[in-house]
Amino acid sequence: MSLISRTSPASKLRQGLQAGSSPLLNWFMKIEGTQKLHAPRERVYSALTDPAILQRCIPGCESLEKTAENTYAATLKAGVGSIKGSFKGEVRLEDMRPPDHYRIVVEGKGGVGFAKGSADFDLEGTGGATLITYAGELQIGGTIAAVGQRMIEAAAKMMASRFFAALEAEVSVDLDTNAP
Amino acid sequence: MISTQFDYVRAQTLDEALTLLSQNEDAKILAGGHSLIPAMKLRLAMPSLLIDIGRIKDLSYVREEGDQVLIGAMTSHYQIESSELLKQICPLLPECAGHIGDVQVRNKGTIGGSLAHSDPAGDWPAAVIALNAELVVAGKSGDRTISVDDFFMDLMTTALEPGEILREIRINKSTRRTGQAYVKMHHPASGFAVVGVAANLTLNEKGACQTASIGITGVSAKAYRATAVESALAGSVFSEQSTANAASHAADGVDINGDLFASEVYRRHLAQVFTRRAITLASSRVG
């Protein structure tokens, strides 16, 4: 299950102030959790680093195109209910050690605000399944952070659970088709 | 800020609204406009067409039918707050309405708009859960009825399909030996519920709790039924101890949200405190 919590230290708020904006307009959120997928680790690792699969799994991702080695340009139409926003940005995969570990770095902006952050993914094989442990931090700013602050956490949790549900479907479908 | 450009149609009938909705993927239904319009002015929502159902007359009513009370989706918060009928047969609804926003919001905002929007801190979702409401939804192929327990699905996500419009809320009239209450911690700036708890209790002839129905809003991505509190109350005799014990389960198994105003830990505490207050108040009103 995913667990997303805020970082509360005053240092984070000061960072926001030093960046020249109100702390209310910059929201730092810790993203951490674990997720078990019913597929072997190699399969999960290749899915998590496959742009075609990621594009299908990331809620609202319209395109994910390779611009350099492990670097992709992304367009996203994300939203909940009547609230929707379009985002453009870059996704970079770093520190890749298949099938154990990689880091994903994202940066994007749109009419309603911006988001940037990174997260480390660690994969652990347990029988035929894989336990993903992820941890990172996301910074959100602009209108969406200023007026939608009370909902950002719930929205992030919802996006994370939709992402992993889609990923689970992707990796398990593949296993079924390969079954003897 | 000013919203992006959009078309506007004032629907005369529900059928007209449903037809327009089915023809325009990017359309939004406009009820009282107290969530959608602010979102549009911030450009967080940019529908190409607004279908205004606020002037459809036969969507705004409160009436009795058999053992039920029927409330039209476009009934304003104020109409519910001031309804003498509801004060008699379902006092939880007027009490809840009185906690929403301010007078201006209550005059324009509607119960159906609020339920369909499903704001995680909206007041109505907690009340209709506690009242075990049924929601009647209109679609191109006719009406269907959704139990309130199947209606709220996730953050601002309901069981409404894209082409459907909520038309009516149905609630069983309260019987004898029933006590109801809605208590809330208002966010000091927005007036939204940091935590809101609706309690609907029925006692048996011996004075023990026969049924308990508790709805909680503001705590999680969506309003929820506090099933652990309900089962702890069932069969028990109300006392300070039994109430506190039941209320301690207010956020069991719930993914609690934190924000700048209230952390996860603080919200869990508030949920327990306000659940205790709601049960205490509701049980004191049993008559």
Question: B99-118, pLDDT tens digit by residue?
Answer: 999 999 999 999 999 999 99
pLDDT at A1 over 70: no
Per-state percent for chain B, helix, strand, coil, to nearest 5: 35, 30, 40
Give the pLDDT score at A176.
Answer: 52
Give the pLDDT score at A173.
Answer: 65
pLDDT at B151 over 60: yes
pLDDT in tens, B30-81: 999 999 999 999 888 999 999 999 999 899 999 999 999 999 999 999 999 9
pLDDT in tens, B192-247: 999 999 999 999 999 899 999 999 999 999 999 999 999 999 999 999 999 999 99
Give the pLDDT score at A16.
Answer: 38
B153's enclosing H/E stretch is strand B152-154
Query: Any idea which residue has 């453009």 for tokens?
Result: A88
Would you call A83 and B45 a contact, using CB atoms and an 8 Å cutoff? Answer: yes
pLDDT in tens, A39-79: 999 999 999 999 999 999 999 999 999 999 999 999 998 88
Interface of B to A at Cβ within 8 Å reads: 28, 35-36, 39, 42-47, 117-118, 120-121, 154-157, 192, 220-221, 255, 257-261, 263-264
Would you call B259 and A150 a contact, using CB atoms and an 8 Å cutoff? Answer: yes
Q: What is the mean pLDDT of residues A25-32?
A: 82
Q: What is the mean pLDDT of residues A81-109?
A: 92
The token duo for B118 is 């499903």
**HSE-up of residue B235 (Cα within 13 Å, Cβ side):** 2
Q: Which residues of A touch B267 (CB under 8 A)?
A: none
Would you call B45 and A155 a contact, using CB atoms and an 8 Å cutoff? Answer: no
pLDDT in tens, A124-145: 999 889 999 999 999 988 888 8
Tell me the percentage of chain B whose pLDDT exceeds 90. Answer: 91
Number of CB pairs < 8 Å for A and B? 71
Give the pLDDT score at B13.
Answer: 95
Tell me the percentage of chain B whose pLDDT exceeds 70. Answer: 100
Instruction: Report cis status (omega within 30 of 0) of the bond before A99.
Output: yes
Give the pLDDT score at B171.
Answer: 97
> Cα distance from B182 to chain A (closest Cα, Å)?
22
Whether chain B has a CB inside 8 Å of the CB on A157: the answer is yes
Would you call B44 and A24 a contact, using CB atoms and an 8 Å cutoff? Answer: no
Give the pLDDT score at B250.
Answer: 98
**Maximum separation of any 2 CA atoms in chain B, in Å:** 63
Residue of B nearest to A154 (CA): B221
Give the pLDDT score at A30.
Answer: 87
Q: Which residue has better confidence, B1 or B158?
A: B158
Report d(CA B68, CA A161) in Å as an integer. Answer: 38
Residue B254's SS3 state is coil
pLDDT in tens, B72-92: 999 999 999 999 999 999 999
Give the pLDDT score at A10.
Answer: 42
Give the pLDDT score at B10.
Answer: 97
pLDDT at A38 over 80: yes
Per-position DSSP letters for B263-287, written without gaps between them: -HHHHHHHHHHHHHHHHHHHHHT--
Give the pLDDT score at A7.
Answer: 42
The token duo for A100 is 């154990």
pLDDT at B262 over 70: yes
Would you call A150 and B220 a contact, using CB atoms and an 8 Å cutoff? Answer: no
Average pLDDT over chain A, rounded to whole? 82
pLDDT at B120 over 70: yes
Please, which residues have CB within 8 angstroms of residue A49's CB and are 6 or more apart in sequence?
A93, A96, A98, A102
pLDDT in tens, B15-29: 999 999 999 988 999
Give the pLDDT score at A20.
Answer: 40
Would you call B39 and A80 a contact, using CB atoms and an 8 Å cutoff? Answer: no
pLDDT at A8 over 70: no
Report d(CA B7, CA B142) in Å as an integer. Answer: 26
Question: Strand B27-30 and strand B62-65: pairing?
Answer: unpaired
